[in-house]
Amino acid sequence: MKLKNYMKEGQKLPLFGIGPHLIYGIGLFTVICIILFVYVFKIGNLSGNWVWAFRITGGVLIVLGFVVWFIGALKSGMDESITENKLKTDGIYAWVRNPMYSGWWMLITGISLMWHNVFLILVFFINWGIMTIVLKNTEEKWLADLYGTEYEDYKKCVNRCIPWKRRRKHDIP
């Protein structure tokens, strides 16, 4: 598969990857689900203390998602790693392999929780599934082809979507 979106000669990976398409897709899916469950079918809407529980959780996820995205996109030096064809494994990338996607996923989930609808919890899992399938079949294949065992070892230690401390000690450059 030929990759496009090269920024400089010799760069092996696209700067933006599949990201914009993936994020627009799960965002649009979430908006459609909000409209259907909350406004069209009017099912699953919670009341009472559940409203506050959903809104507080949603607010936390919105802030956390923005922070994860911001660090991954603007503070990690990822653009330089891409243009220099180096696998990024430090900083936030030691906690999650895809912080930009993860950040948007958390942010979109947080926004959906603001509608305090029980059926929108399913959207969280569906979006996670979509993100997992898309990343496994696109960017993870590209990275495995480019970095080989270095990337395979990294995958074993760092979660794809959910920021989490490395599963085991591993000497990753």
Reading the chain (173 residues) residue by residue, the pLDDT tens digits are 444 444 556 656 666 678 889 999 999 999 999 999 999 999 999 999 999 999 999 999 999 999 999 999 999 988 788 778 899 999 999 999 999 999 999 999 999 999 999 999 999 999 999 999 999 999 999 899 999 999 999 999 999 999 887 766 544 55
116 within 8 A of 46, measured Cβ to Cβ = yes
Pull the structure tokens for residue 120. Answer: 């929108």
Whole-angstrom distance, CA of residue 64 vs CA of residue 111: 12
The letter for the amino acid at 72 is: G
Q: Can you say whether the dihedral through the CA atoms of 89, 4, 128, 101 is positive or negative?
A: positive
User: What b/e readout covers 121-133, taking b as 16+ CB neighbours within 10 angstroms?
Assistant: eebbeebbeebee
This prediction has a pTM of 0.86
Residues 6+ apart with CB under 8 A from 33: 112, 119, 120, 123
Alpha-helix runs per DSSP H in 71-94: 78-83
